[in-house]
Amino acid sequence: MRFRRRSDEASCREVSRVLQAYLDGQVDELSARRVTRHLDACRRCGLEAEVYVRIKEAVGRMDGDVPSLPLARLRDFARRLAEEGPQASEPPA
């Protein structure tokens, strides 16, 4: 997955588009370096990445099937983060 711009600096929007693939190790080396630099420099995007990592870790620790209601809430939260960016805040209660 490559960025559209050729600049060394990735924008928040660009990082948001590739963040899941980056966290899953599914981006090329150049993109990974650009995302890493951006996450180190941008507090909001770094926090967004941390939220995704914690969600993945929590789901990974669960035994058996994930209950459907919490899974639906996590999917909705992930969708809103992808569409709205870090300002999507917390998942609905």
In the prediction, which pLDDT does 70 show?
80
| Binned average pLDDT, 10 residues per bin, the chain of 93 residues | 62 91 93 94 93 85 77 82 65 51
pTM above 0.85, yes or no: no
End-to-end CA distance of the chain: 34
Total structural domains within the chain: 1
Q: What is the pLDDT of residues 18-35, one digit of tens each?
A: 998 999 999 999 999 999
Assigned domain for 21 exists: yes
Assigned domain for 93 exists: no
Chain-wide mean pLDDT for the chain? 81
Assigned domain for 7 exists: no
Look up residue 83 and give its two tokens: 């569409």
Helices 43-61 & 29-41 angle (0-180, nearest 10): 110
CA angle, 61 then 20 then 46, to 5°:
90
Assigned domain for 1 exists: no
The range of the structural domain enclosing residue 52 comes to: 12-88
